[in-house]
């Protein structure tokens, strides 16, 4: 099973993914910001990360750099 991390201020993004993907193949986890997602990122517990930069209160490039540091070989 693949774990997808969605970092978004609103849960609708994660809910839409859950509805579109097969639950036996994908687990979707949602966190509000990069700081809240840090334990998942540091632990390498995700296979991919989706970032909603339009609704974030921080700069998107900074968030991508932070995520990329934890997940250098994941999308």
> Please, are residues 8 and 14 in contact by the beta-carbon 8 Å criterion?
yes
Angle at 14 between CA 18 and CA 68, to 5 degrees: 115
CATH fold label, 2-70: Rossmann fold (3.40.50)
Ordered alpha helix ranges (H), 1-75: 12-20, 34-42, 60-70
Please write the tens of the pLDDT for every residue from 23-52.
999 999 999 888 898 898 888 888 888 887
Domain spans of the chain, in order of start: 2-70
Is the confidence at residue 54, as pLDDT, over 70?
Answer: no
What pLDDT was estimated at residue 61? 62
What pLDDT was estimated at residue 41? 83
Residue 73 class from Cβ within 10 Å (0-12 exposed, 13-18 middle, 19+ buried)? exposed
Q: What does residue 47 show for φ and ψ, rounded to 5 degrees?
A: -95, -25
């Amino acid at each position: 099973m693949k774990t997808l991390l969605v970092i978004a201020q609103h849960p609708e993004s994660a809910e839409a993914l859950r509805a579109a993907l097969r639950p036996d193949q994908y687990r979707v986890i949602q966190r509000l910001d990069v700081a809240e997602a840090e334990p998942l990122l540091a632990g390498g517990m995700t296979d991919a990360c989706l970032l909603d930069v339009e609704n974030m209160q921080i700069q998107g490039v900074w968030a991508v750099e932070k995520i990329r540091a934890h997940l250098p070989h994941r999308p």
